[in-house]
Structure 1
Amino acid sequence: MFAVSCLLTEDQFLCSICLDVFTDPVATPCGHNFCKTCISEHWNINVLCRCPNCKEVFNTRPDLKVNTFISEMTAQFRRLAEQESSSSSSGSQQQVSKPGEVSCDDCTGTKLKALKSCLVCLASYCETHLEPHLTKSGLRRHQLIDPVENLESRMCPKHNKLLELFCKTDQMCVCLLCTALDHKIHDVVPLKEEYEAEIQQMIQNRRLKIEEIKRSVELSQEDADRKIADGVQLFSTLKESVERRQVELIDSIREKQRKLEKQAEGFIKELEQEICELKKRNSEVEHLSQLEDHLHLLQRFLSVNATPPTRNWTGVSLCPVPYEGTVMRAVNQVEETLSEQKKKLLEAKLRRVQQYAVDVTLNPDTAHPELILSDDGQQVKDGDVKQNLPDNPERFDTCVCVLAEQSFSSGRFYYEVQVKGKTKWDLGVARESISREGKITVSPQYGYWTLCLRNENEYRACAVPSVRLSLNSHPEKVGVCVDYEEGLVSFFDVDAAALIYSYTGCCFTDKLYPYFCPCLKDGGKNSAPLIISPVNHTD
């Protein structure tokens, strides 16, 4: 048995899936061994029944049986390993190294858990292999620390000393010799102190972030409450309007029905009177027909027939009541109320986005050489002639465009641009990484989210494909609002307080710059400038 224990190692009894000694070992048709539970769960997860070691695929799932021979060998190995571990440690409780723990560098076969690491030898040792460092005079001078991985990375590559200090000036770990030579006048602190300070700063930053998140939730709740109140008020108004119009509609229809019924009653009464009169005449005719004096009969009949009924009923009828017009008027009144409420909502929305107004100025370093910018950086127009300007990589060299100096990479921002008197223009935002050379394609795929005007009255959102917009009025001032985190770019007709168009679901990853293109002068037809206007915050 002793000879067997010398030949066997733990590696021969390890399952390659769980990396532990076999439990209920089974063999696959290709000859490799695994724990029964491990290989079963592995095949349950994967579609193909494949050997984890040699990758052989089995068309049908093998019916695995526990290999009793290997199972008995594993049990014997466990007992031998426990006996050898007990005898070699002289009663000590040395442990096998587990995943994530530092193992002894000198152990062969089964790796035991390291107790100490040597900063001189750059190795870690279990209790048995640590003994020389505790007994031999030469090794006792070595510096021992709690076991750590990657000892080489903890040593100064220049002086081969432990990195136990932190230089705040250069933001790097240093050894004692470094502080005496290269970092003599620098602010140096122990690593522990720096680590603790960094931890405290991280804790503080996270506490501040918690407060920020809580505040955001509070603000969102307040906004939600306002939205609910506004929504309740809106729908209450609409409900009252609909109910009022419903009552008016019913009353109007019933009033018309009453007039019709009254007219019908008059016709019926008159007809009944004439029927009585006609019956009376009929009786007289029947009486006359019994006389033998025919001459007298004819004279009397002509006398009776000389006074006919007072009305010719052939063209008399009841006119149908035009209820459709009544209903349509009621619907139109409801629509007017709805339009009024919708306009109020849009005005409120515009006021809300105007709260995120930012100062925007044009960046002359990005402007095409043909563009003329005002001294205050608030106006831009085409000058028809290229100026001799420095060759700047940020400058648009073909398209008459310009970016703002300000960039935004979070939150919301809003600005307004006067477009009055222009027949062409482009407005919106562009990401920092857009190409400035040659012809550009203005679309979200190329980093532009813009609105444009062409031919005086053709408005489009420059998406792919472009979206033709039908506007009730021609905007003279356009508001641009961006919500970076929400991925939203919206354009407003400021004077009409109307939403023109919104890009939704945008994915922003780098800085965004306000983008302006006044377009070519077009023989003077489009000579008016684009003007960045101060935002008028209305109550």
Structure 2
Amino acid sequence: MQNVPEERWEGRDEVKRRGDGASKRAGEEAERETLMMELTRLVQRTVKGSSWWERRGIDCSILAAAFLCLPPAFLLLSSSRLLWFSAGVLLMGVAHAVLTIKGTHLASHGSLSESPAWAELWAVFFIEICGSFSARAGVRGHIKMHHAHTNVIGLGDSSVWKVPLLPRCVYLFLAPLTMPVITPLVALAHLKGHPLTHVVRTVLMVSLGLYSQYWLLIHVSGFESARGALLCMLVCRAMFSVPYIHVNIFQHIGLPMFSPTGRPKRIHQMTHGVLNLPRNPVLDWIFGHSLINCHVEHHLFPFLSDNMCLKSPDKPQPAEGLERNGTEGAEAPATNGKEEPTQDAKTAEEVKIQEDLKESEDPRKPEQEEQEDEEERKEAPSDVEEVKEEEAKEEPLGPDDVVCDSCIESPCRALKSCLTCLVSYCEAHLRPHLENPKFQNHRLVEPLRDIERRTCESHKWPLEVFCCADACCICQDCVTEEHSGHNTLPVVEARQQIEKELREKQSEMVKTVTAAENAINKLQLNTVSIEQSVTEVRAVIESQFEELQAVVERAKREVTEILEGEERQALRQAEGIRVHLEQRCAELKKTQAQVEKLSRNKNDVDFLQEYSQWKKEAADISLPGVYIGLMDRLNSVSRVIMDSTQELCALLVSSYIEKVRETCNNDKMGIKTTVHAIVAAKENLSIPDPQTHADFLKYSAQVSFDANTAHKFLRLTEENRKVTNTTPWQHPYPDLPERFENWRQVLATESFYMGRHYFEADISGEGTHVGLTYKSVDRKGAESNSCITGNNFSWCLQWNGRSFSAWHSGVETPLGVEKFDRVGVYMDYTRGLLAFYGVGDAMTLIHQYEAEFLEPLYPAFWLSKKENIVALVAPGEPLRLKSPSPPTSPTNGAVVSLTAAKAAS
């Protein structure tokens, strides 16, 4: 949405200087400010309620229609028949007039695009290539090609050349016919003093536009002589110059603005004098703006497109003193409080224009008027100097001061804020609200910074109260209406309480981050410790087995393999826990930075609103400790080796292998973690298990697929929250160590470690598997232990097209549960509980595992068949794939522990 700036119109100081007294000037200034503010609000409201078609589309369509007229025009000009040739000249003239009048008009005001780069590009194209004029002069100086004619007759607003020796009729009727020649010359005159690059660009672009039309006339229209092509260009480009120049003159004069004693005044006089004139629909369409209205609105609001100017609402009626003419010396007949007929007023205005046109034929008139204006300015008191002296006496603005929104050139401290206008005013600009009865219903309060954010949208009162129940800032009316009966506090007290909580939370976070960094350092050191310890045990084994010679070789190899296998498992466990802790540490540091940033916010309302948003997204700050008990377990292996060497030489092979394996199974080698509360944990063992869907949502987690792990037959969409099996179509994923190579599987980016967690997934297609596994799962192997159904550290649920089945360690447990299109996965890591639920009107338990988890768990998915789909959804989100079938109760054997699963194997 484009923002319509509220600007001061030109000449305000001139009007103030010519007043009869200070009070009268202040009253007129206040009236003008009031009219301008109301007009700005009307225009802003109109723009905000408009569509792109109204803001840009209509004007662009007219320009596109003009471009579409060019090909048939060139073709018609190639005809040897007079009728078709004349139609081609007319069509070419219409197209050129629309492009050079409407196009340059929109481009000079920057109304074709909100992007500065595109606006500059369009200005160069329409003004220089199409209009043969200077884009810099048109945009920065508001000087367009028609001013070359309006200025020489003394009626323009940006004088270039003035030749008062020639009769005015020459410039009114003859000079416009030479527009194609005068316009580039005026452009060249404005290039004086500009940078060389700008001059070169303008010359090249103007030459390109002229030569393009000439080349097309020669090669497309078939003109045989250069003289004929140039004459055709002159006729087409000058065809509509006379009527448009007269329209522009009428715009710059304005009926009510013209003064018998002076030249037309500036934009603020046009504002008060002609804002309410009727529009002409024909001229609106041809030239893109009406005689007076749109021209004035483009000066006041330059970024409005032509169509938005035509859509502008009815203007507020100016005060009585401004309705007359808005000019000094304008003779208005006395009305004694009664309005005269419109026809009489119009006749008087026409007489004034005719008299002034006669008087202005004197070439010395403009010079005399300028001298008179200079004398009046010298005699009039300098209000500008007085204002500057008063502002100099005021204290300088501080960083916390609210600035008046109406003081553009020299910002002043705001005295009040209007909740109706949503604008802050200084003492001078506040007067209309205090004196004008139209503003008596406006609500004035102490100055507010960012008033829209600190004002209630419903009641337009300041946000002074914080609702503890809904965690939002409200006004006094909200306390008795929408938030009636809620626990509320003043924003200052609410901030104090929340700041106290944040300080406590921050101290807990410092401890948690420190503990996390220490745990990561321990895990990094533990990798070296594992290798050193295993090397020592390997030396003991080798020294013992050397005594047994050939019989011992077989036992030696097998025991060494067992030990190395345990080493790899220990390293995988250490790596998995380290990655998780690093991830948690980064999240905690990010949360800590957010809390510090939140505490620095000085505004109470912003602080409370940002805190409410942060609190909803705040992560759990609990973190486990790490306990490494490696040496005790390795010493037990060494003792077994030495004792067996002495006692079981005869039964060497069987005894060593069985006892070592039994020792490893009963007392796992590797890293053991013990959880202790660094800070208060999110979960507590005394909290009952969730029962309803709302209970599960308390532990919900946002999960997304890890693109680096996805098999090449799996396509990820919707920001990595949906995966589809596209067999046999592969996707150009890079080869990474993390990517599954043989099994069509994908892991999630997030991991679960300690505490309770819950996520939901929509599944579609026979052979879809949903489960959890360790990060150490093999990615490249083709064996069954690389699949989430075939190893002892993965737990998953399969939909086979008829019912669900549970898989663990290569063992399938049929469940006999009918289909659910959405599956909820719940885990309590501390208790070793993993459960799958069917999500429907009620939560239906499908299957449950009980196990001892040694590493962080990652959500894992296997899409075994073509067109299988899994979509990760935000818990509670409407079903995305299919409507769920009516849920059924699980069978009696739905709850199976890990021990039972192993027994089945």
- TM-score, normalising length: structure 1: 0.37
- TM-score, normalising length: structure 2: 0.24
